[in-house]
Structure 1
Amino acid sequence: MKAEEMWEISKGEGITVAVIDSGVNSSSKTLDGRLLPGADLTDLPGDATDDYSGHGTTIAELIAGTGKNGGIQGIAPEAKILPLRVDLATDEEDVWKENDDTSIEDAIRAAADSDARIINMSVGGVSRPELESAVEYAVDKGKLIFASTGNDGKDYSEYPAGYNEVVAVGAVTKENKVADYSHGGNVDLTAPGSDIPVWCDKNFTSYCTGSGTSTATAIASGSAALIWAEHPDWTANQVLRVMMETASKAVDGSDYTTRLGYGTVRPRKVLLDGEGDPGDPNQHPLLKEEASPSPSAPTSAPPGEKPADNDDSKSDWVEVAEEGDSDDGPPTGLLIGGAVAAVLVVAGGVGFLVLRRR
């Protein structure tokens, strides 16, 4: 991603990202100066800065971590984080689901009424009218919503990612292939999601490595923050449009596939190369088919597009090599892996364990 070169132009200053999650730990040194007063939408002990699982803090750090004291350096280290704590549940495989309460919907509306321009939702569950209504309310307020598609390798997106107005984010691996666990069906964009540093648990004693569309969503949100900070007069529609236009495409040349979406995020193409036409500020750029109301009926590809049928399909691989790039080993155009691994995890301070979260 050429992060250090991008940071010469933009670090996300002036952009607030609302993180709807398990809370964000205010003791995180890498988030010093990044956290705004948030809101707790639950009946749980504590407040918005009491993270009951570690998930929300991880997401916030991947977006806006400064790298201080051995912590994660996020992709937009001068963005602000608005923590909105909701009541989430995990099953035994640590797959995030929504509870039956209204904290998710309340958080979306709170984010819509805030100064946040971007809403990150690294959570997923089933559709319900109250959730759809809250999403529509936020989009009408000019917010750009990124949500994770899910981690079970299914052919549909969980909600809110399944709604047309929401940017459904899938995950790619360090080898630039769509991850096997990443849900397909109606993906809009993908981002690095495998072997990412995450907090191991709610005790915040060490980092582990984790994989999932949750972390990919955070990197997509941070990428949007970089672009929006450089172009503050753009609307959410324009930011999203240039992200879609400049994304890495599939090696088979497809403009869209149901697992890769419109490609893998490359904010450097906007910031460093000036690519992407922002277009109509009032026209939402997503043209995906109507999302399925239930997991039993997967969504279809846009007209004229063919879904990726198997893991060996070239439409599952991202072409990121460009003129002047090395052909030895995996391309280094992604934020995680290769020569730029040190950009995201700063050595020292906090221990780093090689463990995998499901």
Structure 2
Amino acid sequence: MKAEDMWKVSQGGGVKVAVIDSGVNPTSALSGRLSAGKDVSGAPGGATDDPVGHGTSVAELIAGNGRGDNVAGLAPKASILPIRTAGEGIPGARDTSTLEKAVRFAADSDAQIINMSLGGYGDKELESALNYAKKKGKLMFAGTGNDGNGENRTPYPAGSSDVIGIGSVDSTGKVADTSGNGRHVSLAAPGVDMPTSCGDSLEDHCTGEGTSYATALASASAALIWSKHPDWTANQVARALTETTSILEKDEKPSNYLGYGIVRPKKHLLEGVGEPGAPDKPAFKKNGEFVPAEASLASPSASETAGSRAEGGGGNEAAEKPAAQANEPESSSLALWWGVGVVAAVVVIGGAVTLVLRKRRAG
């Protein structure tokens, strides 16, 4: 992604990302990056207690400081607002219906971006909270799950028309086996062989894959652009981020696995590609159709739109897979999962480095 070159232009300074997750430990990589957060899970501890390690990994990919052996996030000078919500693997959590509270807290905070590397099946209360955050000017990203074969229901929050759903690709740009698929995928980002936090203190390094990590890099990409243009709105950042994708550049149809393509903030930061358009006009119509800057003045009003789901098309045939069906949210509690596929722990034995695969439940 030419991060070092982008960092000469922007490092995400002045942008705060709310990480709604399993909590975020104050690791050395996040020294100077964490602000006071909130715990809505009801579990022992607080927002900076991460019993799973998932939220910490996500936060480090966004804003890790890169000092010494620490992970360097893609937006290393952005700040993190940790919000711990109930979910799989958090002992003592009251229930799994706290995501709505987490979203509303993030909406009322000074964070510009909300990262949700998680999913489940939502309800009307969650949809209302997401719409509230959108109206408050927040830019929201969510993982699309790790079931490469697809499911017959849309995972939320990614399925919301107010949220940009993120798919995952490997280092060659091909769709990862653990990427979600369907109309809820709007954009994609790298999500394979990502550095993650592990060990009892979460100070050790592992590698992992999943749309959780792709979502983190999408949020960080937006932070880089927003830092360069602090007067822009969420709509403008989303449009500049989307207009620089490869699928739109090639004028192809959106893909069920890549949406409108892989995020490439370098195209905007280093080459000046990607127009912001009008500040009050959504980058996406409600049905998922992307509205480019030159057409933004003719797009529907903000009250009528906020969409992010990409229409499942035939674009990028080399990466295309069968599309999943997408249904509307049902009135049921949200059974949250963290979007982690496989985590590989790096173990040093006698000077040799061995990868030990730790299977975790795929989202």
TM-score, length-normalised on structure 1? 0.79
Q: Which amino acid aligns with 1:171?
A: S
Residues 284-303 of structure 1: matches in 2 within 5 Å? 284-287=282-285, 289=287, 302=311
1:119 aligns with 2:117: no
- Asked whether 1:170 is paired with 2:167, we answer yes
Counterpart of 2:5? Answer: 5
Query: Does the CA-based 8 Å contact 1:122-1:217 persist in structure 2?
Result: yes
- What's the secondary structure of 2:119's corresponding residue? coil
Residue aligned with 1:53, SS? coil
Q: 1:251 and 1:274, CA in 2 relative to 1: closer, same or farther beyond 3 A?
A: closer
Q: Which residue of 1 aligns with 2:58?
A: 59
1:37 has 2:32 as partner: no
Q: Are residue 72 (structure 1) and residue 76 (structure 2) matched?
A: no
Q: For the residues of structure 1 that align with 2:157 and 2:16, how far apart are their CA atoms?
A: 20
CA contact (8 A) 2:36 2:81 kept: yes
1:256 and 2:260 equivalent? no
Residue 97 of structure 2 aligns with which residue? 102
> Contact between 2:247 and 2:315, CA under 8 Å: does it hold in 1?
no
Structure 1 match to 2:177: 180
1:211 pairs, out of 209, 212, 234, with 209
Alignment of 1:125-274 (within 5 A): 125-153=120-148, 154=150, 157-186=154-183, 187-200=185-198, 203-204=201-202, 206-249=204-247, 254-274=252-272
In structure 2, give the amino acid aligned to 1:40.
Answer: D
C-alpha distance in structure 2 between counterparts of 1:109 and 1:273, whole Å? 36
- Equivalent-residue separation in structure 2 for 1:112 and 1:45 (angstroms): 24
Task: Compute the displacement of 1:314 (Å).
Answer: 1.8
The amino acid of 2:38's aligned partner reads A
CA displacement at 1:256 relative to structure 2: 1.1
Q: Residue by residue, what CA displacement relative to the aligned partner does 1:175-231 show, whole Å, maximum 9, x if unpaired?
A: 210112211112100000011111235542522211100000000000000000000
- Residues 238, 205 of structure 1: alpha-carbon distance in 2 compared, 3 angstrom cutoff: closer
SS of corresponding position for 1:217: helix
Change (3 A) 1:32 1:61: same
Distance in 1 (alpha carbons) for counterparts of 2:268 and 2:354: 35
Aligned equivalents of 1:199, 1:301: Cα separation in 2: 31
Which residue of 304, 314, 323 corresponds with 1:306? 314
Q: Which residue of 2 aligns with 1:14?
A: 14
Deviations 1:131-158 (A, max 9, x none): 1011000000000000000001215641
CA distance in 2, matches of 1:228, 1:73: 19
Aligned residue identity for 1:184: N
Deviation at 1:100, TM superposition (A): 4.7
2:229 aligned partner, one-letter code:
H
Q: Give the letter aligned to residue 47 of structure 2.
A: A
Report the Cα distance in structure 1 between the residues aligned to 2:211 and 2:107, rounded to whole angstroms: 23
Unaligned runs of 5+ in 2: 289-308, 322-351
Q: Which amino acid aligns with 2:19?
A: V
How far did residue 353 of structure 1 move? 6.4
Q: Runs (4+) of structure 1 moved beyond 6 Å?
A: none
CA 1:202–1:237: 2 relative to 1, 3 Å? farther
Superposed, 1:312-323 pairs within 5 Å as 313-316=317-320
| Structure 1 residues 180 and 250: CA distance shift in structure 2, 3 A | farther
Q: Which moved more, 1:163-172 or 1:82-91?
A: 82-91
Deviation at 1:354, TM superposition (A): 3.0
Counterpart mapping for 1:72-91 below 5 A:
72-90=71-89
> In the TM superposition, what is the alpha-carbon distance from 1:255 to its structure 2 partner?
3.8
Contact 2:28 2:203 survives alignment (8 Å): no
Q: How many residues align?
A: 305
Structure 1 Cα separation of the partners of residues 145 and 199 of structure 2: 20
Contact 1:38 1:84 in 2 (8 A): yes
Code of the residue aligned with 1:119 in structure 2: it is I
Which residue number corresponds to residue 354 of structure 1? Answer: 355
> What is the one-letter code of the residue matched to 2:21?
D
**Distance of aligned partners of 1:157 and 1:247 in 2 relative to their CA distance in 1, 3 Å threshold:** farther
Q: In structure 2, how many angstroms separate the alpha carbons of the residues matched to 1:251 and 1:47? A: 44
Partners of 2:116 and 2:35 in 1: CA distance: 17
Distance 2:36 2:248 in 1: 41
Query: Cα offset for 1:251?
Result: 10
Deviations 1:7-34 (A, max 9, x none): 01100000000000011101x1111100
Query: What's the secondary structure of 1:83's corresponding residue?
Result: strand
* Whole-Å separation in 2 of the counterparts to 1:133 and 1:114: 17
| RMSD between superposed Cα atoms in Å | 2.6
